[in-house]
């Protein structure tokens, strides 16, 4: 089965987004493409595993294979019109935000330039952790 994933989001040009692009020589974080040829034909398999680093397309592959299956999609309070580098600690320092993103393992600089909704599930998890760290939250929980 051939799978093509084409994910895209807006290109952002805020101060932080421009600084990330400049410092890390990253032209854009707006597009993600993946072409995969997966050996899924036939009914002779019962369990399959898709492995790869955060942001490599595992959840997108799952959505392509099983479009009607609900996949957990995240958190509340993230703006749809800002990249995560701007949404995390908006009044905080650039270095604190990028340091928190790196510290939690979200080292994919193009992902910093995407809004939360355009991230993979693993990237969303790490972005949430970075937000907790950068904003110095004492308690963490879901809003009721």
Confidence of residue 126 (pLDDT cuts 50, 70, 90): very high
Q: Which of 76, 55, 51 shows the shortest CA–CA distance to 128?
A: 76
Each domain of the chain, given as residue ranges in start order, spans 2-134
Of 14-23, 42-51, 97-106, which range is least confident?
42-51
Residue 33 · residue 6 · CB < 8 Å = yes
What pLDDT score was predicted for residue 139? Answer: 62
**What percentage of the chain exceeds 70 in pLDDT?**
90
Evaluate if residue 141 carries a pLDDT over 60.
no
Please compute Rg for the chain using Cα positions.
Answer: 17
Residue 101 · residue 136 · CB < 8 Å = no
Q: Which of 32, 24, 118, 121 shows the shortest CA–CA distance to 72?
A: 121
């Amino acid at each position: 089965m051939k799978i093509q994933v084409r994910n895209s989001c807006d290109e952002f040009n805020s101060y932080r987004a421009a600084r990330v692009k400049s410092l890390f020589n990253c032209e854009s974080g707006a597009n993600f493409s993946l072409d995969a040829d997966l050996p899924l034909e036939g009914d002779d398999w019962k369990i399959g595993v898709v492995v790869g680093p955060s942001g490599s397309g595992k959840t997108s592959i799952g959505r392509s294979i099983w479009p009607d299956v609900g996949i957990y999609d995240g958190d509340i309070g993230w703006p749809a019109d800002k990249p995560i580098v701007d949404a995390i600690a908006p009044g905080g320092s650039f270095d604190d935000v990028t340091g928190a993103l790196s510290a939690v393992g979200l080292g994919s600089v193009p992902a910093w330039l995407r809004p939360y909704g355009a991230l993979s599930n693993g990237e969303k998890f790490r972005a949430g952790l970075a937000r907790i760290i950068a904003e110095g939250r004492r308690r963490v929980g879901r809003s009721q």
